[in-house]
Amino acid sequence: MSAAAVDVAVRPLTAADLPVLERLEVELFGAGAWSAATLAEELTAPGRTYVGATLPDGTLVGYAGLWFDGWDAQVMTVGTDVAHQGRGVGRAMLGALVDRAREVRAASVLLEVRVDNAPALHLYEALGFERLGRRRGYYQPENVDAWTMRLPLGPAAADAPGA
């Protein structure tokens, strides 16, 4: 049984969010967490879109990022505060990223997910992502495998070579 849905607003992240992002990153990803410098670089890197989920009181409870390379969009990360997991926060942020991918006419959205992350796999599959293959030892330093997943998008996908 999942917890009650939480009311969140999805908004662009800014440098002012970095202290909370750093805390959440370590809490959620432990030894595999991105450094403070990497988080700061990601927020402003070319082709990147980062969003956060905030409660009505403004508390940041999740973050997610997308990179568009001119063809496919790649989900860079999705993280939801443990106290708010299973309540629609990740779905709201991922929806915003997929909307952004459609805006930039990406052919598809790609992502990697830990093979042992059942809640994330369930979410991605419920949103139409399909498993493409397994990447051995993708997540380091834990040496955990990842599923590579793909969500084909509208008209841009139909224009793909070989489509």
Q: What is the pLDDT of residues 69-109, one digit of tens each?
A: 899 999 999 999 999 999 999 999 999 999 999 999 999 99
Model-level pTM?
Answer: 0.88
Phi, psi of 22 (to 5 degrees): -60, -45
Q: Give bridge partners of residue 51 from the DSSP assignment.
A: 12, 64
Please give the Cα distance from 11 to 67 (Å, whole number): 16
Cα–Cα dist 123/128, whole Å: 9
Span 33-54, average pLDDT? 96
d(CA 106, CA 123): 21
Element of type H or E holding 138: strand 130-139
d(CA 44, CA 130): 29
pLDDT on residue 36: 95
- Closest-CA residue to 23 (of 53, 62, 78): 62
User: What stretches of the chain show up as alpha helix (H) in DSSP?
Assistant: 18-29, 36-44, 89-103, 118-126, 155-158
pLDDT at 56 over 70: yes
The pLDDT, as a whole number, for residue 113 is 96
